Chain A
Amino acid sequence: MDYEFLWRPVFQSLPQLLKSALVTIEVSIISMIIGLTIGLLLFFARSSTIWLVRFFAGVWIEIARNTPALFQLFFFKFGLGAIGIIIDSYITVVMALAFNTAGYMAETFRGGFKAIPSSQLNSARSLGMTFVQSQCYVVIPQVLRAVWHPMTNQFIWVMLLTSLGMLVGLRELSGETQFLYSKTFRAFEFFAATAIIYYCIAKLMLLLFRLIAWRLFRGQ
């Protein structure tokens, strides 16, 4: 082995790396929030009385969960690009990850709603609350707790998936790493450093979600 480790370039580029890590975090959070919201809507849409709405939600969930996330991303970037719809890389990544997350979250919500006895909804309705009020104040808070762990996993998964962004030219953490490595040829050093940054982001997210759970679900 005649590879000589050289860490200086990594330390010199650390501010740049950390800046791109912020892009990763930003894209993750936006994708999660949009994906979570659409996932919830998809869950309700799937039990809609309107045939077309049910069908649309079903197709979305099936495609999101049964095709590679990379293909979904390429579809939004190059597929749509081929027919003349050119979208900025940042937005493409958000769209693809939100699309993917929504499909998975719809399934997770299905399990979560199933875990709440129908008598909870009946109780809420019997007090004069509307369907939407009953869902918002009684059912969904309980669902949130039931899906908290799978949701946390999904969110970390989304954060890691943002690395696909480098394949459509987004300078998030992986994209930036790729760029710096091609400039300095310090492949091992840069990828190792980036792996550590991803690891730290994941651990921080876990910690944050634990804290939120502790705050939200105390006493239960």
Chain B
Amino acid sequence: MIEIKNLKKSFDDLQVLKGIDLTVNNGEVLSVIGSSGSGKSTLLYCINALEPIDSGSILVDGTSVHDKATDVNKLRQKIGMVFQQFNMFPHLTAQENVALAPRKVKKMSKKDAMDLAARQLEHVGLGEKLDSYPSALSGGQQQRVAIARALAMEPSYMLFDEATSALDPELVGEVEDTMRMLAKEGMTMILVTHEINFARDVSDRIAFFHQGRMEEINTPEQLINHPASEHTAKFLSNVR
């Protein structure tokens, strides 16, 4: 379970998160939507301790993420993250990309890590591409490798930061299908996305962020068809 309490975060003078309260239950898929600069990506970076916070707290399975005593490297093994930019390591093959962290962090033997990597890549439909370098893969394939790489650490949670928004339109589907598959398998996920239709299909709840606040959170049906806030209604009418 991820519990966020009164989370505040600023970049210099700009407050991007103005007191967020949010709980994500195990097995839940939560989508976060909102216009650029609403703080939704920052939220993910804070959950993974990639950004420090100003005040409030984030508990992941009861561990306070930003507590000085917390071993963030250990914590991050629980939380997989996929970024907007394709972040495959360009000097490694697909299989080596996935095997790297299990080897170095979990201290698996090379053989075990490579076997695990092959299984994970097969899982996301890239069993044929084990030896391919990123330069030989499409953006969609690279994102699926990034997903496999995160899954190889056997995380309890997956965070997706606009994982499809840098992709060519025809490649979005394959990545969304992979995310759908994870959702079906019961992975707890937080998706920051611009794809409203995808969010509706895959999510248990959708949160709408507006100017650093969580304006509204509800089931996809309620939030999309009967938005309670006028900001939500306006945003939805603009993106549809």
Interface residues of A (CB under 8 A from B): 117, 119-120, 122-130, 133, 137-138, 141-142, 145, 217, 219-220
Contacts and interface: CB of A to CB of B under 8 A. Distances in A.
B101 A119 contact: no
A112 to B, nearest CB: 13
Contacts of A117: 85
A130 B73 contact: yes
B83 A122 contact: yes
12 contacts: A119-B85, A126-B76, A126-B80, A126-B150, A127-B80, A127-B153, A128-B76, A129-B101, A138-B100, A141-B91, A145-B91, A219-B135
Nearest to B91: A141
Interface in B56-78: 73-74, 76-77
B198 interface: no
A212 to B, nearest CB: 14
A141 B133 CA distance: 15
A213 B188 CA distance: 43
B126 to A, nearest CB: 16
Given A117-B85, A219-B135, A220-B91, A127 B76 contact: yes
A137 B149 CA distance: 15
A68 to B, nearest CB: 37
Given A127-B105, A129-B73, A122 B149 contact: no
Contact of B100 (A119, A130, A137, A219): A137
Contacts of B133: 219-220
B114 to A, nearest CB: 15
B104 A129 contact: yes
